Amino acid sequence: MVNIGGATLGRFTFEPGWRWSETVKTVVHTDTCQVNHLGVCVAGTLTVQMADGNQMTINAGDAYSIPAGHDAWVEGGGTYVCYEVMSAAEFAKPA
Protein backbone atom coordinates (compact mmCIF):
# COMPACT_ATOMS: atom_id res chain seq x y z
CA MET A 1 0.00 0.00 0.00
CA VAL A 2 1.04 3.54 -0.74
CA ASN A 3 -0.36 6.71 0.79
CA ILE A 4 -0.81 9.59 -1.65
CA GLY A 5 -2.16 12.69 0.03
CA GLY A 6 -5.34 11.55 1.80
CA ALA A 7 -5.79 8.43 -0.33
CA THR A 8 -4.37 4.93 0.03
CA LEU A 9 -3.58 2.90 -3.08
CA GLY A 10 -3.39 -0.85 -2.60
CA ARG A 11 -2.42 -3.72 -4.88
CA PHE A 12 -4.23 -6.97 -4.17
CA THR A 13 -3.30 -10.39 -5.53
CA PHE A 14 -5.64 -13.36 -5.07
CA GLU A 15 -4.63 -16.83 -6.23
CA PRO A 16 -6.93 -19.35 -7.95
CA GLY A 17 -9.32 -20.83 -5.40
CA TRP A 18 -9.38 -17.69 -3.22
CA ARG A 19 -12.82 -16.84 -1.83
CA TRP A 20 -13.65 -14.00 0.58
CA SER A 21 -16.07 -16.13 2.65
CA GLU A 22 -13.38 -18.80 3.20
CA THR A 23 -10.47 -16.48 4.01
CA VAL A 24 -11.24 -12.91 5.04
CA LYS A 25 -14.54 -13.77 6.76
CA THR A 26 -12.57 -15.68 9.40
CA VAL A 27 -10.66 -12.46 10.21
CA VAL A 28 -13.41 -9.82 10.09
CA HIS A 29 -16.24 -11.98 11.53
CA THR A 30 -19.02 -10.60 9.30
CA ASP A 31 -21.31 -12.64 7.03
CA THR A 32 -20.39 -10.56 3.96
CA CYS A 33 -17.67 -8.06 3.11
CA GLN A 34 -18.70 -4.73 4.62
CA VAL A 35 -16.19 -2.65 2.65
CA ASN A 36 -16.96 -0.58 -0.46
CA HIS A 37 -14.40 -1.16 -3.21
CA LEU A 38 -13.29 1.11 -6.05
CA GLY A 39 -10.54 -0.08 -8.33
CA VAL A 40 -9.28 -1.53 -11.57
CA CYS A 41 -8.48 -5.15 -12.44
CA VAL A 42 -5.21 -5.75 -14.29
CA ALA A 43 -5.25 -9.57 -14.45
CA GLY A 44 -7.59 -12.49 -13.90
CA THR A 45 -11.31 -12.75 -13.20
CA LEU A 46 -13.28 -12.15 -10.00
CA THR A 47 -16.96 -12.93 -9.44
CA VAL A 48 -18.79 -10.83 -6.87
CA GLN A 49 -22.12 -11.92 -5.38
CA MET A 50 -24.21 -9.44 -3.46
CA ALA A 51 -26.27 -10.51 -0.43
CA ASP A 52 -29.42 -10.27 -2.60
CA GLY A 53 -27.97 -12.83 -5.06
CA ASN A 54 -27.05 -10.43 -7.88
CA GLN A 55 -23.63 -11.17 -9.40
CA MET A 56 -21.04 -9.29 -11.42
CA THR A 57 -17.86 -10.52 -13.05
CA ILE A 58 -14.73 -8.37 -13.14
CA ASN A 59 -12.12 -9.06 -15.81
CA ALA A 60 -8.72 -7.62 -16.66
CA GLY A 61 -9.13 -4.06 -17.91
CA ASP A 62 -12.38 -3.44 -15.98
CA ALA A 63 -12.80 -0.57 -13.55
CA TYR A 64 -15.25 -1.42 -10.78
CA SER A 65 -17.26 -0.18 -7.85
CA ILE A 66 -18.51 -2.81 -5.41
CA PRO A 67 -20.83 -1.83 -2.55
CA ALA A 68 -20.63 -3.39 0.90
CA GLY A 69 -22.54 -6.63 1.46
CA HIS A 70 -20.89 -9.14 -0.86
CA ASP A 71 -18.83 -12.31 -1.23
CA ALA A 72 -16.22 -12.68 -3.98
CA TRP A 73 -14.08 -15.40 -5.50
CA VAL A 74 -11.42 -15.91 -8.16
CA GLU A 75 -12.69 -17.63 -11.31
CA GLY A 76 -10.58 -20.01 -13.37
CA GLY A 77 -6.91 -20.84 -13.06
CA GLY A 78 -5.44 -17.36 -13.31
CA THR A 79 -4.28 -15.05 -10.53
CA TYR A 80 -6.52 -12.01 -9.94
CA VAL A 81 -4.64 -8.72 -9.55
CA CYS A 82 -6.21 -5.33 -8.90
CA TYR A 83 -5.45 -1.83 -7.63
CA GLU A 84 -7.91 -0.22 -5.23
CA VAL A 85 -8.18 3.36 -4.04
CA MET A 86 -11.23 3.36 -1.80
CA SER A 87 -10.85 0.37 0.51
CA ALA A 88 -7.15 -0.44 0.53
CA ALA A 89 -6.58 0.70 4.12
CA GLU A 90 -9.70 -1.10 5.45
CA PHE A 91 -9.61 -4.46 3.64
CA ALA A 92 -9.29 -7.62 5.79
CA LYS A 93 -9.37 -5.78 9.13
CA PRO A 94 -11.81 -6.63 11.92
CA ALA A 95 -14.80 -4.31 12.21
Q: pLDDT tens-digit profile of 22-62?
A: 988 888 889 999 999 999 999 999 999 999 999 999 999 99
Q: What is the pLDDT of residue 79?
A: 98
Distance CA 35, CA 86 (A): 9
Distance CA 25, CA 64 (A): 21
Residue among 30, 34, 38, 31 nearest 87 (CA) = 38
Domains in the chain with CATH codes: 2-84 (2.60.120.10)
